[in-house]
Amino acid sequence: MKKILITILVGLLLILGGCGKDKSTTGEDKKEITVGFGVGTYEEQFRNGILPILEDKGYDVTIKTFSQNMQVNPAMKEGSIDASVFQSTAYMNGINEELNTNMTGITFVPSAPQGLYSTNHTSLDEVKDGTTVAVPNDPVNQERAVRILEELGWIQVDENAGTTDFNLNSVKADKYDIDIKVLDPAQILVSLQDVDYGVVNGNYIASAGKKITDALKIENTPEEHRIIVSINEADKDTEWAKDLKDAYESDKFKSYMESQEKYDGFILLDAWK
């Protein structure tokens, strides 16, 4: 009987121990954090510029890079990452509604503007009816892209066009009858030979060793489209979130960014002004 009772007690302890391990740490201070990224330069910025700062403060940081941006926020929702660096405020707000999440931004990061590029033309003056222009397929980046074309006078965008729910039904011809091609954002740069022009997210330009400043037209990026560090709202007052924010706004990180030629043309933090 005594052996049976001991066995039962051991079993209960194991069950309780397992439950403790599964308990969410959202809103708690900790020294082990996981940060998620999409493909691009933001992971490299973090690894070389931010990670050393956090490690000096005693943090054990896991970097998790996703092959597709759409995988990052579900990972945040399920708790497999604590923070992410890949999305804008506009994109995050749309995902909060779509996934019923409660994410918030704690600081901006050096952000790459979109630009209009071409391998088949050296000037914007070569545009004409039927000119093909590639734009990203996700609503937020697509809206950004067509605003560049709108500023050039190539197209018109409906006054009531959305941002997170944007679609090309809001676009009509202006000076030219543009043939807009929709591609995955990561594919536009490598597909430029197949179109006349393409709107490329700047982080892909930097990752490819090219210069943002070589664009034929650079986006005047609205604040809502600058990249942020996003976390769950419940974590905003934790010490680790404050330390992560401070690392991005630090003079040490500023010095790193300014030392890297590949980041020429990136939008720097207001905290550094």
Domain presence at residue 189: yes
Same domain, 119 and 195: yes
CA 221 to chain centre: 14
The predicted pLDDT at position 12 comes to 43
Same domain, 196 and 245: no
Residue with tokens 């976390």: 231
Same domain, 160 and 254: no
Domain presence at residue 202: yes
Hey, is 173 helix, strand or coil?
Answer: strand
pTM above 0.75, yes or no: yes
Same domain, 215 and 161: yes
Q: What's the CA gap between 62 and 96, in Å, rounded?
A: 24
Q: Is there a contact between 239 and 107 (Cβ–Cβ < 8 Å)?
A: no
The predicted pLDDT at position 24 comes to 45
Domain presence at residue 5: no
Residue-number span of the structural domain to which 38 is assigned: 32-111+225-272
Same domain, 180 and 122: yes
Instruction: For 129-152, give the DSSP string.
Output: TT-EEEEESSHHHHHHHHHHHHHT
Same domain, 203 and 120: yes
Give me the residues of the chain with pLDDT under 50, please: 1-24
CA torsion sign for 60, 271, 205, 225 is positive
Domain presence at residue 8: no
Domain boundary among 180, 199, 220: 220
Domain boundary among 220, 240, 256: 220
Domain presence at residue 14: no
The predicted pLDDT at position 25 comes to 59
Tell me the CATH number at 229: 3.40.190.10
Domain presence at residue 25: no
Distances (CA, A) of 163 to 221, 225, 259: 14, 10, 34
Domain presence at residue 261: yes
Distances (CA, A) of 266 to 77, 141, 219: 29, 17, 11
Domain presence at residue 1: no
CA torsion sign for 153, 155, 161, 167 is negative
Same domain, 177 and 192: yes
The predicted pLDDT at position 26 comes to 67
